[in-house]
Amino acid sequence: MPIPTEPIGSVPRTAQLLAAMTLQTQGRIDSEAFRTVAERAVAETIAAMEATGSPVVTDGEQSKPSFATYPLAGLDSLAPDGVVIPFSDGHTRQLPRLTKGPFRYGTYSGGYVEVAKRYAKKPVKQAVISPSALSLLYPANGIAGYARDRFLDDLTAESVKDIRSAFDAGAVSVQIDFTEGRLSVKLDPSRVLLRDFVGLINRVLANFSESERSRIGVHTCPGGDQDCTHSADVDYGDLLPDLFKINVGSVFMQMASERDTPRIYKIVSGHRRPEQRVFVGVTDPIDPAVETPEIVRDRVLEAASYLPVEYLGTTDDCGFSPFGDDVSTARETAFAKIKARIDGTRMAEKVLGI
């Protein structure tokens, strides 16, 4: 059986879409015109991804404002002064703050799948934001008349609805983006916050059957924005034992940019559940150099020396443009890296006799 290889999700937006996003921010483009530009970008992105030979495609998250905030579109219950996430080069991203309840999504991921399937010839995968990331919207000092426990009930229900919408629209699989996992260890070295996050994700997953959970994965990386990270200085070993307690069928791991890969693979081997497939990152979206297929091949072979080949997959370390305004990576570079991942994975299969 071939080694499965999948993208994480985002690729840099087209130039036309970036221009339209600017006009949208300025209120100078109507919703129908923006939708037309965004759908064209989705069609172009899927065609380019399929041209790499990718057996599974995404819409590149073209019309998402960011991987984290797409559910918040159109909500009137938010203030701009929420949690601040600092990155290694000094720039920050700031989440909004919830001001009132009940909490509801403004946008569900199934809508992205519906558009993607109009153009895709290959199976469509959909990335969704984790409930743990969205839990950070609730302010530390609370909301009058809307207790945190009630918020978490609403958030759980909305996250379930989001994942369900993707499956109902025809997604072959759903990937929960959990980049805040490693960051949580930085914020709270005791890992109480991490375990709270894992518990919340598992609370959502409890609403799905075992068969459905086998089609759900979780993605971890130390963040990736404007060619830098928010938590690469956190020891992976402090995250992984709890990460593999998430009740999913697949775990997507940043590994290409990791320094001591033998140590990390040993930890993974000790904590991976028997039914869990591990998709290892073999290309680094932050590195501007395009990996050769031979580099990818060797990274796959290293992973295969620690993990069962029948439970091994390959991926990219992170999305190439998780935030809509991140133009640090060219589209051409992203697709070249994706092709190298696919070609290198196939080369590794030959060496392994698959």
* Residue 6 included in any domain: no
Q: What is the pLDDT of residue 324?
A: 87
Q: Name residue 217's beta-bridge partners.
A: 175, 250
* Residue 3 included in any domain: no
User: How many structural domains is the chain composed of?
Assistant: 1
pLDDT, mean of residues 91-119? 97
Q: What is the pLDDT of residue 351?
A: 98
Q: What is the pLDDT of residue 261?
A: 98
* Residue 261 included in any domain: yes
* Residue 63 included in any domain: yes
What is the domain range of residue 102? 15-352
**150: CATH:** 3.20.20.210
pLDDT at 36 > cutoff 80: yes
Q: What is the pLDDT of residue 80?
A: 97
pLDDT at 1 > cutoff 90: no
CA distance 197 to 188: 12
CA distance 122 to 46: 9
Q: What is the pLDDT of residue 260?
A: 97
* Residue 9 included in any domain: no
* Residue 10 included in any domain: no
* Residue 35 included in any domain: yes
- Give the chain's mean pLDDT: 97
Q: What is the pLDDT of residue 289?
A: 97
Q: What is the pLDDT of residue 208?
A: 98
Q: What is the pLDDT of residue 23?
A: 95
Q: What confidence tens digit (pLDDT) does each residue in 269-308 have? A: 999 999 999 999 999 999 999 999 999 999 999 999 999 9
pLDDT at 213 > cutoff 90: yes
Cβ count within 10 A of residue 48? 20
pLDDT, mean of residues 64-76? 94
* Residue 8 included in any domain: no
pLDDT, mean of residues 88-112? 97
pLDDT, mean of residues 227-245? 97
